Structure 1
Amino acid sequence: MAFQIPLIDRPISEIPLPPYFPLTHDELFKSDKPDWKLLTSHFASEGRILKQDTLHIISIATQLLKSEPTLIILQDPITVVGDIHGQYYDFLEILNLGGNPENTQYLFLGDYVDRGAFSIEVILLLYSLKINYPSLIFMLRGNHECRQMTSLFNFRSECLYKYDLDVYDAFMDSFDCLPMACVLNNNFLAVHGGLSPELHSLDDIKYMRRFFEPGREGLQCDLLWSDPVDSSDGRLSQVFKNNEVRGCSFFFGGEATRKFLKDNNLIAVIRAHEAQKDGFKMLYWNGPNFPSIITIFSAPNYCDCYKNKGAMIRFDDGVLNIEQYNHSKHPHVLPNFMDVFKWSVPFVIEKIVQMMCVILKKDQNSSKIIVDDSCIRRICELEQGVMSSELKGDTIEKIVFFLRKLRESKIKSVSEVTINEINLPKPRKSLTEAPVITDDNESFINAKINDWINEKRPSSL
């Protein structure tokens, strides 16, 4: 059955209509490689591609990633990018500022998915760039590129909403193939998280096993999860201290950092993994001349509430430059990819129940209201409909409680009905309402405090 193209009769005509059809295979693959420029604009207008083409892109990228060493060796010029976290429209700005992918070498430090609502678009465009330019685009694994974190956060839900479980499983298998670290200019170790008590030399990374779901301890876990201690002097009571913030791995300080850099003839560690107000942070634990730890975070206004800047590193001829940028506007997505009709159901039900209250209450000019069996049956049907809904929470529970009490009162007395209103659930606050924060630093700190629990690795799913 052929689908008809919808009428171009939008009430707000200045907002462009998203593509109604996905790109065809012939449109996307004009050669044996995906047309990444077409894909870029198609995703920017909220378009989709076919499931079989999605799986095809993942399959080709997986083979390329699998063939690369666990420890990549690269030289500048190169652009280094930190966490992106599904912020597709900010990712487009990164590619605009960082250099044309056709002739610019990129190193991405992981965390491409989760938190943002456009993770599939980010990772598919990255994989398409990797397929087109395998000697220019390099990707490391982040702590969110795993089954546990994507199930806890929203990437798995996004895959099920936009495709299905087959696509999610294909992505997870591809994440198992991502390299773990990179040596830049023979001077810098680039990694998502940080150092490990099991990391003594670069050979420890070079010969480690990587093609599996990360465990809760060991070298792979630490490379993805460890953090430098938040201290200007790097002092720590132990060389490696348990990382209670993350729920796994370690904090490392100046002593561990200086020893690792000296033993491996390196200058600094470049890592991502932590949101930064300015998009980056430098720790001078090895003298004032050059930072020993550089944290780079590339997702501006993280989670739409941090009010932070994004940043990237540009290496050219041995010179390190950091470029900052602000967030880009993006389409609004309801929580859990809920459509507007399902989102509005609690409010509609609430108003209906309130109307029922008014109708069934005693009228000032009437002593009785007749409620027959048909009315009771309709109330029961409404109650069952609410209980069978996918919606959950206090709102539905209160409405069901009200309906049940209403039905019970009708069964006891259908001739004389007196209904006392209970406290009905209040409408949810407008999605546009937000606390007024006059200072960006205050906004960043408050967001970080409120989001603290989400930085911890869960003990289990």
Structure 2
Amino acid sequence: MGSDEARSGHPVTAMQWKNYSMERVVKTLPMPLAYRLQTADVYDPVTNKPRLQAILDHMSKEGRLEEDVAIRIVQEATVIFRKEPNVVEITAPTSTISVCGDVHGQFFDLVKLFEVGGNPDTQRYLFLGDYVDRGYFAVECVLYLAAQKIHHPNTLYMLRGNHECRHLTEHFTFRAECLCKFSENFFNICMEMFDTLPLVALLNGQFFCVHGGISPEVQTLSDVQKIDRFREPPAHGPLCDLLWSDPNSEFGNEKTNDFFVHNATRGCSYYFTYPAVCDFLNRNNLLSVIRAHEVQDMGYKMYKENKSTGFPALITVFSAPNYLDVYQNKAAILKYEQGKMNIRQFKNQDHPYWLPNFMDVFVWSFPFVVEKVTDLLLCLLSVCSDDELQEEVQHRGSVVGEGVSYNRVMNEYKVVKDKIESERPLRAQAQLSQERRQVLKTKILTFARLARLFEVLRVEQENVSKLKALSPNGVLPVGALAGGKETLLQALNGVPGVKSFKQAKALDRVNERMPSPTPVKASASVKPAAPAAATPSGTLGRATSMPPTSSGGSRTDIKNETPSNSRIPPVKTAVAAAQR
């Protein structure tokens, strides 16, 4: 069984697949499937719905679908999303529902998520957005989730995240991935689907589930229903806030009475405070806000309890483990069942390797070629004296780093110099001006430094790829290559003594901002809203004081003490971090 037969246009059998994989240099790594699934392969003629297992098996082996099939799946899911309201109400009196955070194109971890959460045929799911960008398998995530939505329109729910828009997908990786795997048309079809995704889910009448957070312009759930969601999210306003806002870094221990403060990290929207969340929950008779949007070292974070309920006012969940292949974080999902909230954690799965920005092997091999070319140029230009070169690099050790050392440059220079000078008349040697020699010397050192840059690119490809993933637009920091391996590692490691997760988060901070053009800046602060009974609809009043508490941050075991006069049904919570 050869590669030609495997690529003949028909699915391969298990035995053929085994033989096919043996053609690779790494025998244990099978080649990607070249056959693209057709409509007959994907759609069941009886149910007229996608075959989920066939899609999963095929994409898990890096296989793709024909573009018309992929477009059909996305468009059928779009029809379902379009019919859903801005606020999806999900009842969960007895059955289990898993609340999932950011996925970010990590398809093989998404498969693990469904293993941890259970079969969607028997379990319900709520995804909080950010299915694309950053990871290199976002197309697979979109197609698989869309196919699941077609099968389970009333038990699997997907909200919109801040990355489900044209602005961010063009700035990051999803558009480039669509062009690599399909076309611009497929990308536009996906954008149309993203425009239809609901914004908020109300879980069991108690939990306000959203991607980012609350907004000063959203006082009640009816305010969310009034938003026109079928469009590109703006740079300010309630739609922007629901997708972009974050909790204050001192959530629960603020030294301000402001409910909302401009979000300098994102460059748009707001930081919301603990009093703002408690006011929103009490105003709407809710128990907690569940959101995603921020990577967490343990996959989740539970914040300070609401004094009136004894339950965490805010919960963050993040479901992309080892985010960007750098963060080394765990992922988590929240499983809500019969009034009990469990947290299930899982680690990242191995996945196929993609070159940065979906580059092909020819572009990737460019540093190898240029390194050899610079070596040749060094030989051609080495016509100045030993003393001049020695003077230039004195006290600097190697000018070109490991593998392209000063001694190597000098040895090549001497060979060429001896040959040239043996053929050059003595009178011609005397006529070589000092300025000319200086120019040649500069060229030699310049190409020596270029040789170093391209050798670093060749030898340190993995570290370069990691650093590009953490840099805006995939651009390396200035001097990262010129400094060699040590500079690359220093850039990746960040400040000495800080944990790896914090290092990665600090490096990636610039990518948390809304990309240019710069959005309209929100006001420095927004005063809190008054209690519902005393505030006219659509107006903002002064803060009501909240009693301070001594603790904040995450909790591992939380008991709900719902007041007897509250309409919120009792909820028991136990964080059972079942690590997979």
The answer to whether 1:290 aligns with 2:311 is: yes
2:243 aligned to which of 215, 224, 227 = 224
Matches within 5 A, 1:184-195: 184-195=203-214
Q: 1:289 to 1:357 in 2, by over 3 A?
A: same
SS in 2 for 1:311: strand
Asked if structure 1 preserves the Cα contact closer than 8 Å seen for 2:100 and 2:318, the reply is: yes
- Give the AA of the match of 1:98: G
Q: Deviations over 1:180-218 (max 9, x none)?
A: 001011111000011111111111112321100000111
The answer to whether 1:445 aligns with 2:502 is: yes
Matches within 5 A, 1:33-432: 33-76=49-92, 77-235=96-254, 236-287=256-307, 289-358=310-379, 362-367=416-421, 420=444, 422=446, 423-425=448-450, 426=452, 427=455, 428=457, 429-432=459-462
Distance 1:284 1:60 in 2: 41
Distance 1:170 1:272 in 2: 25
Match of 2:515 in 1: 458
SS in 1 for 2:98: strand
Asked if structure 1 preserves the Cα contact closer than 8 Å seen for 2:208 and 2:289, the reply is: yes
Asked if structure 2 preserves the Cα contact closer than 8 Å seen for 1:350 and 1:424, the reply is: no
Asked if structure 2 preserves the Cα contact closer than 8 Å seen for 1:234 and 1:255, the reply is: no
CA drift at 1:344: 1.1
Matches within 5 A, 1:11-30: 11-30=25-44
Asked if structure 2 preserves the Cα contact closer than 8 Å seen for 1:140 and 1:178, the reply is: yes
- Percent identity of the aligned residues? 39
Asked if structure 1 preserves the Cα contact closer than 8 Å seen for 2:289 and 2:314, the reply is: yes
Q: Deviations over 1:25-68 (max 9, x none)?
A: 21111232111111112111111111111111111011110011
Moved more, 342-351 or 89-98: 342-351
- Give the AA of the match of 2:54: L
Structure 2: stretches of 5+ with no match in the other structure:
8-19, 383-415, 425-431, 464-488, 519-580
Distance 1:420 1:100 in 2: 64
- Give the AA of the match of 1:9: E
Q: Deviations over 1:52-108 (max 9, x none)?
A: 111111110111100111100002221000000001111011000001011111000
Distance 2:134 2:78 in 1: 23
Q: 1:221 to 1:366 in 2, by over 3 A?
A: closer
Distance 2:252 2:165 in 1: 33
SS in 2 for 1:364: helix
SS in 1 for 2:185: helix
SS in 2 for 1:367: helix
Q: 1:342 to 1:459 in 2, by over 3 A?
A: closer
- Give the AA of the match of 1:215: P
Distance 1:22 1:195 in 2: 43
Asked if structure 1 preserves the Cα contact closer than 8 Å seen for 2:67 and 2:182, the reply is: yes
Distance 1:309 1:443 in 2: 13
- Give the AA of the match of 1:161: C
Distance 2:33 2:315 in 1: 41
Moved more, 201-210 or 243-252: 201-210
Asked if structure 1 preserves the Cα contact closer than 8 Å seen for 2:381 and 2:444, the reply is: no
TM-score normalised by the chain length of structure 1: 0.85
Q: Deviations over 1:350-393 (max 9, x none)?
A: 212313433675352453789xxxxxxxxxxxxxxxxxxxxxxx
Distance 2:242 2:77 in 1: 23
Asked if structure 2 preserves the Cα contact closer than 8 Å seen for 1:277 and 1:441, the reply is: no
Asked if structure 2 preserves the Cα contact closer than 8 Å seen for 1:254 and 1:285, the reply is: no
Asked if structure 2 preserves the Cα contact closer than 8 Å seen for 1:307 and 1:440, the reply is: no
Distance 1:296 1:237 in 2: 27
Q: 1:289 to 1:441 in 2, by over 3 A?
A: farther
Asked if structure 2 preserves the Cα contact closer than 8 Å seen for 1:103 and 1:136, the reply is: no
Q: Which protein shows a greater Rg?
A: 2
Q: 1:369 to 1:64 in 2, by over 3 A?
A: farther
Distance 1:158 1:440 in 2: 36
1:9 aligned to which of 20, 23, 26 = 23
Asked if structure 1 preserves the Cα contact closer than 8 Å seen for 2:302 and 2:314, the reply is: yes
Moved more, 91-100 or 226-235: 226-235
SS in 1 for 2:421: coil
Structure 1: stretches of 5+ with no match in the other structure:
371-408
Distance 2:29 2:360 in 1: 18
Distance 1:232 1:252 in 2: 8
Q: 1:348 to 1:268 in 2, by over 3 A?
A: same
- Give the AA of the match of 2:30: P
Distance 1:364 1:158 in 2: 54
CA drift at 1:458: 2.0
CA drift at 1:143: 0.3
Distance 1:352 1:360 in 2: 12
Distance 2:422 2:151 in 1: 77
Distance 1:110 1:184 in 2: 16
Asked if structure 2 preserves the Cα contact closer than 8 Å seen for 1:271 and 1:296, the reply is: yes
Distance 2:115 2:343 in 1: 15
CA drift at 1:285: 4.2
Asked if structure 1 preserves the Cα contact closer than 8 Å seen for 2:78 and 2:196, the reply is: yes
Q: 1:315 to 1:441 in 2, by over 3 A?
A: farther
Distance 2:192 2:419 in 1: 71
Distance 2:260 2:380 in 1: 68
